Homo-oligomer: A and B are copies of this chain.
Amino acid sequence: MGHGGARKGAGRPKGGGQYGEPTQPVRLPHSMIPSVLDYLANKGYQLPLFSSKVPAGFPSPADDHIEQHLDLNQHLIKHPAATFFVRVTGHSMVDAGIHENDILIIDRSLPALHGKIVVAAVDGQLTVKRLHQSAQGKLLLMPANPTFQPIEINDENDIHIWGVVTNVIHAV
């Protein structure tokens, strides 16, 4: 009558699930469940990173000669709560490699130091400018066109620096 019996290898195979490894139930907020499942399906967006100086005799990225794996969010966004994006309009920063429709990654938690490219609100409008610190210690927004005067940041005018540009994302 006995069919089967206690033995090694019987039963549903270990690691035969959809993830190929042990799982555990964790509670997720309702609104994030679809997004997390997408995140899982894409393995956390950990994609291979190659270097163009590495010999590449193997035409498939699915081999072992991979420098490392990268998640864009983790790599580009150090302070998620303090980071936002700005889509560029106009061509005022082409000399800094910033073009129309580029997406800028802005970190509000970084100090606005001399020479940094910043996003500021000037006349109620967002603008991207390079920050200069004068000899007197005053902060100036440098315009793209040198015939215009630098814009000083002080308590009188209503100019606020929103944050420092950390990366430029350009669609080719």
- Report which A residues bind B (CB closer than 8 A): 19-33, 35-40, 42-45, 47-57, 59, 61, 67, 70-77, 80-81, 83-90, 96-97, 99, 103, 108, 116-117, 119, 121, 124-128, 160, 162, 165-172
Please measure, in the bound complex, the distance between the C-alpha atom of A25 and the C-alpha atom of B171, giving whole angstroms.
Answer: 39
Pick from B53, B71, B85: contact of A47, CB below 8 A: B85
User: Apart from A26-B28, A52-B88, A53-B90, what 10 extra A-B contacts exist at CB < 8 Å?
Assistant: A19-B29, A23-B30, A42-B77, A43-B80, A49-B85, A51-B86, A52-B90, A57-B121, A61-B108, A70-B103
Give the Cβ gap from A169 to chain B, nearest Cβ, in Å: 5
Question: Is A28 touching B57 in the complex (CB atoms < 8 A)?
Answer: no
Give the Cβ gap from A79 to chain B, nearest Cβ, in Å: 10
Give the Cβ gap from A75 to chain B, nearest Cβ, in Å: 8
Contacts of A116 in B (CB 8 A): 172
Question: Is B61 touching A72 in the complex (CB atoms < 8 A)?
Answer: no
Main SS class of interface, A: mixed
Question: Is A121 touching B56 in the complex (CB atoms < 8 A)?
Answer: yes
Please measure, in the bound complex, the distance between the C-alpha atom of A63 and the C-alpha atom of B150, giving whole angstroms.
Answer: 29
Supply 19 A–B pairs (Cβ within 8 Å), ascending by A.
A23-B27, A23-B30, A25-B26, A26-B26, A26-B37, A32-B43, A32-B44, A36-B36, A47-B77, A51-B86, A51-B126, A70-B85, A70-B103, A72-B72, A76-B169, A97-B170, A166-B172, A167-B169, A167-B170
